[in-house]
Chains A and B, each alone.
Chain A
Amino acid sequence: METLLKNDLVTPLQDYYNPNVLLNLGPSHPAMHGTLRVMCRVNGETIEDASCEIGYLHRAIEKLAENKTYHQWIVYTDRLNYCSALANNVGYVMAVEDVMGITITERCMYIRMICLELARVIDHIICVAINALDLGAMTVFWMLYTWREQAYTIIEGMCGMRLTTSYARIGGMAYDLPENFQAEMKIFLEGLPKTLDDVEKLLSANRIWVDRTKDVGILTAEECLGFGLTGPVARASGVDQDLRRDRPYYNYSDLDWDVVVATKGDVYDRYLVRMEEMRQSLKILKQLCAKLPGGSIWTEDSRVLIPKKKDVYEKMEVLIHHFKIFMEGIDVPPGESYRAIEAPNGELGYYVVSRGGPKAWRIKIKSPSLALFQSYEHSIKGAKIPDAIAILGSLNIIAGELDR
């Protein structure tokens, strides 16, 4: 194959009959979502063999984790799955709180759950909208992105940032919810379901959409288990698994919602699962907003509690404490924890190993996208080139999380 690459004598006509034509997709191509690269060996339009290459967006985030304090590293979690930064923030601080044995307040827990579900909705919006856009359905993209914009307006109100939120803190949240939160949320919760209905009317029975997605990129339940796939892709293949139900963290067990499972595991089923999961997330969000308790968003634990600005200016002990938290960092006792949450793309885990002190000894991120992209190599074999684009969109691989 390498000789083929180098062989300049191959004429176009021979190429036409050659079952060993190499086709490079990516790393910078609009349909390749970020910096993903696949080399395909095609015979006509059929992909006979494929090989993925990753690492184009590797920014040494795990190395930085060992060289920054626990607090400083929160900003790097934004840059993992940048489509659902809120979920990454929450997952990370949960892992550190586990090692420190910190219990957060009721209000903080509710705000974090709102973050997790809001992140899921915007991530699924991106996945469905971009997948449809890649296959030529531009209307769906604009309709859904209106609501993504509304979600980002809410997020901007919550933490002042849209994409890189850095909202969670170890032991609390950076800010409390804004005054207009419930009003903005109401618009979102009432408006999005109508658009979801419209999108389903446009796509679910659409001849072009159905032809392009049904029976494309099928992954069986056994394959999902072998490749370690989790989240909506696994659930679309009939793997009835959701960490929010199976191993509930926070308050998920007290809420009324369902795990969405499909059977076939093709692109169409993944689309259906994501659409229904958005509805379930909205249902959860509605309950959370109704039950939202008052009180403090910060734990009383003085090891992590960031002092109030007024006290920092007026009391010397508080000033010193403030200085120590930000200049030296939080002292985390030796220990370790693997904390996994059901992120929009599947199981997102943070394995934090502490040997004492303000910096982690090792943080390993279990990224759902890595498993998804590894299965991609396998699932496009035998597919056509346009199908490869449809499959990639349905897996929703985010390069930031893939390469870390």
Chain B
Amino acid sequence: MSRLLLKNREAQDGINGHLKQNYAQQGRYDEDANQEGILWLVSSGDLPEVVRKLREDSSLAMDRLADLSAYDNVDGVDGAGRFVFFIHLYSSKFHSRMRIKCLIAEGEEVPTLTGIWPMANWLERECFDMFGIRFRGHPDMRRILMDERFEGHPLRKEYGLEARQQFSDSLPIRMVTENEVSK
């Protein structure tokens, strides 16, 4: 019942084929349960460049960032790397989706996408907050949901569900002005 219409399916298959043929040489290419393409990057350093290419490519036109986060790969099912970083992209032209994934080692920095989509700002902050993945070149790399004094990263598998850290007072909001960013 939730299957795609034929025209959407054809568009999605076209995108998948194009991805597999032109972008998956170095990396892995998978498809998920909905037959949407997953492109695995070999190195996270290529991320902004690949994303720009995917956006400029007229047969993909991946112009909207739908979501960005990571998941823990502590058991190594997806390969060698502590985390799997992922972004969901949407093409307003073809109404198709794709996903980029990349294995990240503990402490590895991922280049920021804030220069391409301002939306990435808070999503990357959340990713840092939850997993401790830092983003290189991010204008304001600090926690977003948790208190700044919070220790650890709650969505890592080793962080217990029942663990609590309480703060009796609150911190003043820090405003990031343009001058501070350049510092």
A55–B125 CA distance with the chains assembled, in angstroms: 12
Chain B hits for A53, CB < 8 A: 173
Given A58-B146, A228-B117, also A338-B36 (CB < 8 A) = yes
Given A63-B154, A253-B5, also A225-B64 (CB < 8 A) = yes
A248–B119 CA distance with the chains assembled, in angstroms: 25
Q: Which of B8, B34, B119, B145 is within 8 Å of A55, CB to CB?
A: B145
Across the two chains, which residue of chain B brings its CB closest to A50? B175
Quick check: B71 and A340 within 8 Å, CB to CB?
Answer: no
Across the two chains, which residue of chain A brings its CB closest to B63? A225
Q: Name the segment of A77-85, A203-211, A366-374 touching the other chain.
A: A366-374
Given A49-B177, A247-B8, also A54-B1 (CB < 8 A) = no
B92 at the interface (CB under 8 A from A): yes
A241 at the interface (CB under 8 A from B): yes
Chain A interface main SS type: mixed
A39–B123 CA distance with the chains assembled, in angstroms: 20
Chain A hits for B75, CB < 8 A: 355
A253–B65 CA distance with the chains assembled, in angstroms: 25
Given A94-B2, A253-B5, A366-B88, also A67-B66 (CB < 8 A) = no
Quick check: B119 and A371 within 8 Å, CB to CB?
Answer: yes
Q: How many residues of B contact A (CB 8 A)?
A: 47
Quick check: B155 and A63 within 8 Å, CB to CB?
Answer: yes
Quick check: B88 and A338 within 8 Å, CB to CB?
Answer: yes
Quick check: B92 and A60 within 8 Å, CB to CB?
Answer: no
Interface residues of B in 69-100 (CB under 8 A from A): 69, 71-72, 75, 77, 86, 88, 92, 95, 97, 99
Across the two chains, which residue of chain A brings its CB closest to B157? A66
Encode A378-404 as 1/0 by CB contact (under 8 A) with B: 100000000000000000000000011
Chain A hits for B144, CB < 8 A: 54-55
Quick check: B66 and A248 within 8 Å, CB to CB?
Answer: no
A150 at the interface (CB under 8 A from B): no
Interface residues of B in 147-161 (CB under 8 A from A): 147, 154-155, 157, 159, 161
Q: Name the segment of A133-141, A186-194, A262-270, A346-354 touching the other chain.
A: A346-354
Quick check: B32 and A374 within 8 Å, CB to CB?
Answer: no
Interface residues of B in 19-34 (CB under 8 A from A): 32-34
Quick check: A1 and B33 within 8 Å, CB to CB?
Answer: no
A1–B1 CA distance with the chains assembled, in angstroms: 56
Quick check: A228 and B64 within 8 Å, CB to CB?
Answer: yes
Q: Which of B1, B118, B122, B175 is within 8 Å of A49, CB to CB?
A: B175
Q: Which of B33, B119, B123 is within 8 Å of A226, CB to CB?
A: B119
B183 at the interface (CB under 8 A from A): no
Given A246-B95, A335-B32, A338-B36, also A349-B67 (CB < 8 A) = yes
A109 at the interface (CB under 8 A from B): yes
A288 at the interface (CB under 8 A from B): no
Q: Name the segment of A96-104, A115-123, A153-161, A276-284 touching the other chain.
A: A96-104
A98–B34 CA distance with the chains assembled, in angstroms: 7
Q: Which of B77, B92, B118, B130 is within 8 Å of A355, CB to CB?
A: B77
A58 to chain B, nearest CB (A): 5
Across the two chains, which residue of chain B brings its CB closest to A103? B1
Across the two chains, which residue of chain A brings its CB closest to B177? A49
Interface residues of A in 7-61 (CB under 8 A from B): 24, 37, 39, 41, 49-51, 53-55, 58, 60
Given A58-B146, A97-B2, A338-B36, also A349-B66 (CB < 8 A) = yes
Quick check: A362 and B67 within 8 Å, CB to CB?
Answer: no
Quick check: B34 and A247 within 8 Å, CB to CB?
Answer: no
For the complex with contacts A227-B117, A337-B34, A351-B69, 13 further pairs of A-B residues with Cβ separation under 8 Å are A1-B175, A5-B172, A94-B2, A104-B2, A227-B118, A228-B66, A248-B4, A338-B88, A338-B97, A351-B67, A361-B71, A374-B121, A374-B122
What 8 A-B pairs have minimum CB-CB distances, sorted nearest first? A228-B119, A362-B71, A55-B145, A366-B67, A39-B173, A246-B95, A51-B175, A337-B33
